[in-house]
């Protein structure tokens, strides 16, 4: 009897222990408790950093392992800065600083040579936003002699302002920087959002109105091409072939999030500079974007129970590697918005609190029973079976965001900012427009002379080899010469001349002596003229000459971007809150949009 009772007690004890072990990974998060938030965030950050090996010997600082793209490394460093900002824990500060500085590239503008062949404007923009955050939060400044946070953000701004493409869709940034990359013919919202975000925050930090002018110009272009609609919904982008009129209607949370924070920065900037009318306009835009954010990217009945969701891909289990992280940035930027647009605090804190509790509840995966998945909404706290940098970073950011009320406000040059700036940073980087010149520099007289010498040597070597191959060792020199001459009869020579003449008439020659099919050809479906970038030889040109000429007319130095621009005042009695009262060289045009985020092959 005693043995049977002891055995039963042992079984109950074992079952209880098993249940505790199974449940130990579920975080008990209290979003009203600073200690609880810090405790949960510490464990989440530890699990996030476990994916990173850039600080290990033989690895590259700032790069994430496969399959993560380069841009997400910048977002990752931003998460480590946020972790320090909200918790005061410096454990990962050196990792963040090292990763950010290692990827700045030779011109200190986040265009490292090993990334530029596939780097897009949005990729570069994410690194810029990370260093802008470092400046605003007074993250530890880089050592003397190293590029500083503010100057790095200014460099990215300058290089991107130089790429503003007025010739297609009347403005906007292309998705890709270089012509050979998939997506070069596409203008997407996230590239504009990053540029707008950085410009607005630079305006607030430095007080320089030209940054604000560029932010206004970007916003107005987005509205004019209908990437932002009347309800402040932000669509993905459009191709330039039809003047950005065929909108791709996908909506992703990081698009609206980046515009939300940038608009909050503009609201603070215009308020600080006593631009009352513009401050009210940006206030209205913040409210419109926040309404859109809650309506599209939060699931539930009302604000009190809604939880964040990546609506375009999460419900159908189709989120790619990039999209798995988007909720991290929406959480990050919604929280930061409350510092510059304090009237949004109660609403945002409620939405982020609901989401943080839902996110923490499902972090029961992995060997440690605390790894986080993607699905927070309507899942009863069940882990979805996925884990990775995107999922972990999203959970960490939404938990940290609930400490925003206790966090110090971001600084500016006038309120204690210490980061050193450089308004002309990035201006020496020819790669901002001409990717070829970036690596090889201008062609000099010495380069041409060397090319001629090399060409002569190669031709002489080829002719010598050909003569050797045609020589019959059993014959004399005179007999070989006679045989060689006999191969070129009068008839064949005449035929060659005739053929060459016909070719010259049928093949167009460009101004550099290279044959090209034609500068433009017609679409067989629409009859619309479309650019052709291929010569008859089948080799891909670096870029069409027409495009090279158009870019040449736009070349400006970094310092030029920070000179005052003409300002046109809109009629006071006919004001659309989505269209700015000032516009920098922008004219109204039909709106447009783009496909879900894609990446260049390889």
- H or E segment and range at residue 192: helix 189-206
pLDDT at residue 397 tops 70: yes
| Higher-pLDDT residue of 34, 435 | 34
282-313 confidence digits (pLDDT tens): 999 999 999 999 999 999 999 999 999 999 99
Which residue from 280, 264, 393 is spatially nearest to 328, judged by alpha carbons? 393
Mean pLDDT of 517-536: 31
Other C-beta atoms closer than 10 Å to the C-beta of 484 total 13
What burial class does residue 535 get, using C-beta atoms within 10 Å of its C-beta: 0-12 exposed, 13-18 middle, 19+ buried?
middle
Mean pLDDT of 48-61: 97
Looking at residue 116, its pLDDT comes to: 76
Residue with tokens 């982020």: 352
Mean pLDDT of 440-447: 64
By percentage, how much of the chain surpasses pLDDT 70? Answer: 73
Looking at residue 479, its pLDDT comes to: 75
Looking at residue 8, its pLDDT comes to: 58
pLDDT at residue 234 tops 50: yes
- To 10 degrees, what angle do helices 253-272 and 326-340 make? 20
User: Do 160 and 195 form a contact (C-beta atoms < 8 A)?
Assistant: yes
Q: Left, alpha or beta for 455 (phi > 0: left; psi -120 to 50: alpha)?
A: alpha
| Higher-pLDDT residue of 588, 23 | 23
116-139 confidence digits (pLDDT tens): 778 999 999 999 999 999 999 999
pLDDT at residue 577 tops 80: no
User: Do 310 and 326 form a contact (C-beta atoms < 8 A)?
Assistant: yes
Contacts of 120 (CB under 8 A, 6+ apart): 71, 175, 176, 177, 181, 183, 191, 600
Looking at residue 380, its pLDDT comes to: 87
Looking at residue 221, its pLDDT comes to: 98
22-45 confidence digits (pLDDT tens): 444 579 999 999 999 999 999 999
Looking at residue 512, its pLDDT comes to: 32
CA torsion sign, 44 to 50 to 56 to 58?
A: negative
Spatial distance between the Cα atoms of 422 and 414, rounded to a whole number of angstroms: 16
Degrees, nearest 5: CA angle 177-180-183:
60
3-state percent breakdown (helix, strand, coil) of the chain, nearest 5: 50, 5, 45
Predicted confidence band at 524 (pLDDT cuts at 50, 70, 90)?
very low
Predicted confidence band at 543 (pLDDT cuts at 50, 70, 90)?
very low
User: Do 253 and 325 form a contact (C-beta atoms < 8 A)?
Assistant: no
Which residue from 370, 365, 366, 373 is spatially nearest to 314, judged by alpha carbons? 373
Alpha helices in 238-376 (DSSP H): 253-272, 276-297, 326-340, 345-361
Which residue from 193, 204, 89, 90 is spatially nearest to 136, judged by alpha carbons? 204
Question: Residue 151 has which token pair?
Answer: 């100057």
Predicted confidence band at 443 (pLDDT cuts at 50, 70, 90)?
low
Indicate the average pLDDT of the chain: 81
pLDDT at residue 155 tops 70: yes
Query: pTM for this one?
Result: 0.75
Mean pLDDT of 495-506: 43
| Higher-pLDDT residue of 260, 483 | 260
Spatial distance between the Cα atoms of 578 and 224, rounded to a whole number of angstroms: 9
Looking at residue 488, its pLDDT comes to: 55
Contacts of 355 (CB under 8 A, 6+ apart): 298, 307, 308, 331, 376, 398
User: Do 436 and 117 form a contact (C-beta atoms < 8 A)?
Assistant: no
Question: Residue 50 has which token pair?
Answer: 């476990």
321-376 confidence digits (pLDDT tens): 999 999 999 999 999 999 999 999 999 999 999 999 999 999 999 999 999 999 99
Predicted confidence band at 507 (pLDDT cuts at 50, 70, 90)?
very low
Looking at residue 474, its pLDDT comes to: 76
Distance of CA 41 to the CA centre of its chain: 26
Q: What counts of helices (H) and strands (E) characterise the chain?
A: 18, 6
Which residue from 326, 352, 353, 196 is spatially nearest to 264, judged by alpha carbons? 196
């Amino acid at each position: 009897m005693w043995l049977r009772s002891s055995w039963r007690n042992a079984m109950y004890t074992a079952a209880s222990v098993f249940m505790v072990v199974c449940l130990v990974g579920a975080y008990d998060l209290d979003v009203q408790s600073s200690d609880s938030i810090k405790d949960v965030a510490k464990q989440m950050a530890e699990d996030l950093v476990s994916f990173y090996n850039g600080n290990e010997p033989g690895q590259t600082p700032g790069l994430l392992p496969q399959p993560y793209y380069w841009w997400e490394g910048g977002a990752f460093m931003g998460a480590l800065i946020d972790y320090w900002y909200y918790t005061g824990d410096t454990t990962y500060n050196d990792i963040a600083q090292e990763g950010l500085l290692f990827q700045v590239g030779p011109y200190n503008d986040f265009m490292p040579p090993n990334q530029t062949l596939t780097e897009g404007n949005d990729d570069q923009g994410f690194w810029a936003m990370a260093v802008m955050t470092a400046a605003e939060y007074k993250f530890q400044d880089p050592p003397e002699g190293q590029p500083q946070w503010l100057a790095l953000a200014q460099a990215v701004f300058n290089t991107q302002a130089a790429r503003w493409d007025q010739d297609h869709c009347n403005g906007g940034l292309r998705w890709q920087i270089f012509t050979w990359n998939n997506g070069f013919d596409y203008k997407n919202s996230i590239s504009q959002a990053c540029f707008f975000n950085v410009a607005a925050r630079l305006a607030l930090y430095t007080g320089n109105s030209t940054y604000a002018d560029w932010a206004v110009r970007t916003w107005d272009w987005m509205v004019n091409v209908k990437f932002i609609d009347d309800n402040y919904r932000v669509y993905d982008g459009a191709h330039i072939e039809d003047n950005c009129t065929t909108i791709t209607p996908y909506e992703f949370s990081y698009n609206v999030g980046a515009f939300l924070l940038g608009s909050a920065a503009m609201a603070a900037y215009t308020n600080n500079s006593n631009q009352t009318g513009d401050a009210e306009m940006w206030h209205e835009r913040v409210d419109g974007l926040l309404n859109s954010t809650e309506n599209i990217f939060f699931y539930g009945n009302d604000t009190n129970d809604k939880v964040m969701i990546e609506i375009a891909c999460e419900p159908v289990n189709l989120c790619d590697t990039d999209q798995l992280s988007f909720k991290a940035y929406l959480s990050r930027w919604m929280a930061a918005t409350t510092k510059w647009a304090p009237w949004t605090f109660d609403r945002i804190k409620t939405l982020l609190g609901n989401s943080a509790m839902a996110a923490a509840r499902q972090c029961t995966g992995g060997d440690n029973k605390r790894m986080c998945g993607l699905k927070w909404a309507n899942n009863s706290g069940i882990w979805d079976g996925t884990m990775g940098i995107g999922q972990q970073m999203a959970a960490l950011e939404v938990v940290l965001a609930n400490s925003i009320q206790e966090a110090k406000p971001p600084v500016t040059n006038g309120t204690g900012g210490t980061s050193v700036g450089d308004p002309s940073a990035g201006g020496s980087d020819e790669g901002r427009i001409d990717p070829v010149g970036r690596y090889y520099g201008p062609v000099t007289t010495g380069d041409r002379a060397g090319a001629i010498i090399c060409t002569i040597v190669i031709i002489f070597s080829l002719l010598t080899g050909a003569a050797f191959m045609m020589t019959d060792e059993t014959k004399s020199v005179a007999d070989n010469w006679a045989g060689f001459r006999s191969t070129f009869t009068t008839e064949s020579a005449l035929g060659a001349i005739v053929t060459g003449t016909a070719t010259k008439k049928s093949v167009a020659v460009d101004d550099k002596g290279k044959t090209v099919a034609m500068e433009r050809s017609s679409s067989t479906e629409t009859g619309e003229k479309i650019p052709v970038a291929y010569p008859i030889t089948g080799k891909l040109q670096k870029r069409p000459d027409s495009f090279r000429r158009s870019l040449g007319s736009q070349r400006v130095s970094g310092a030029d971007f920070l000179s005052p621009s003409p300002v046109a005042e809109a009629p006071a009695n006919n004001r659309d809150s989505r269209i700015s009262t000032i516009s920098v060289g922008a004219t109204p045009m039909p709106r447009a949009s783009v496909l879900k985020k894609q990446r260049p092959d390889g």
